[in-house]
Amino acid sequence: MKAARLAVTATTSALVLLVAACGGGTDEPAGAGPGYPVTVTNCGVDVTFDAAPERIVLLKSAAVPYLHALGVMDRVTARAGQYPRDYYDAATLTELDRIPLLTDKTDTSGHLQISKEVVISQEPDLVLGEVDNLSRDTLSAVDIPLLEEPAMCPGNTATPSFDDIYRQMETYGRVFGREAEAATAVGALRERMTAVQAAAGTASGRTAAVLYPTIGGGTTYAYGSASMAHPQLEAAGFRNVFGDTSERVFEVTVEELLGRNPDVLILLYSDGDPAAVEQGLTGLPGAEKLNAVRNGAVMTQLFNFTEPPTPLSIDGLERIVQRFRVDS
């Protein structure tokens, strides 16, 4: 019996009926574990777990720090995508190294390429992370539940915050029956935030932008107020020059960057050589006139150190504060 049932909230009646058929009215489903069923809402979809998931497939790396903190990485039976080692401590790397990698193949825009058949063959009772060619609907058709990080849900325009990290830790705690571990982890994260904000001090008045350059030149993307980059910059004492843009990510030109001329630039990338990433921005015609470039105030940072909101975002904040704190 599958450990989860799905229903689209107030929309898809067929799935609602499916949940009712599986759940048998108000009675607890057969085989439900203590404390179950548990229902969480994810990207507008209610996902009901009759027991804690035991066979997890990771299609994105963002959930890893949550699973590690809760002590359930041993339930991950397969993974796909990129898992840069700089994200993780030795204990997490040991856990990841024992998990078979299905594929790390991506397209030119960095999106994972994996077939439905490969994922289904793993017989997961939970998939974490939605990718372009393997959607939630595709998996739900074969009764496999999916959870995505809320900030990455399609159409999401909510302004993220560090509180989202704590809430998501608590959500995973409920899904896996690890509420106590989640509470401990949240307490530790809050303590880290208190310390890093004390180190950052009061707002410096400096401006900053978070960008995603294209290696080799080409399109440059910037992050607005709907991205985790925005509260991260604020917590570090900066004003996001694109904070007046409600989009999460969007294309920008060098001319627009020059018009806003941030004091600091943080360049995100998924993998590869950080020097090439920096060159992808500084090598653009006119970029040498940017204040941040002229003053050497350019920092490269792996993508998950900023987005989506996870414990790695606090790691990223610590790195930003360490690099740009006024007394450093």
What is the C-alpha separation between 203 and 200, in angstroms, rounded?
A: 8
Q: How far apart are the first and last CA of the chain?
A: 57
pLDDT given at position 109: 63
| d(C-alpha 97, C-alpha 310), whole Å | 21
pLDDT in 10s for each residue of the chain, 328 residues = 445 554 433 333 333 333 333 343 444 444 456 789 999 999 999 999 999 999 999 999 999 999 999 999 999 999 999 899 999 999 999 999 999 999 998 776 667 889 899 999 999 999 999 988 788 999 999 999 999 999 988 887 788 999 999 999 999 999 999 999 999 999 999 999 999 999 998 877 899 999 999 988 789 999 999 999 999 999 999 999 999 998 899 999 999 999 999 999 999 998 889 999 999 999 999 999 999 999 999 999 999 999 999 999 999 999 999 999 865 4
Question: Residues with Cβ < 8 Å from 154, sequence gap 6 or more?
Answer: 43
**pLDDT for the residue numbered 112:** 84
Kindly report the pTM of this predicted structure. 0.86
Would you state the pLDDT for residue 28? 45
The pLDDT of residue 32 is 55
Residue 1's pLDDT is what?
A: 40
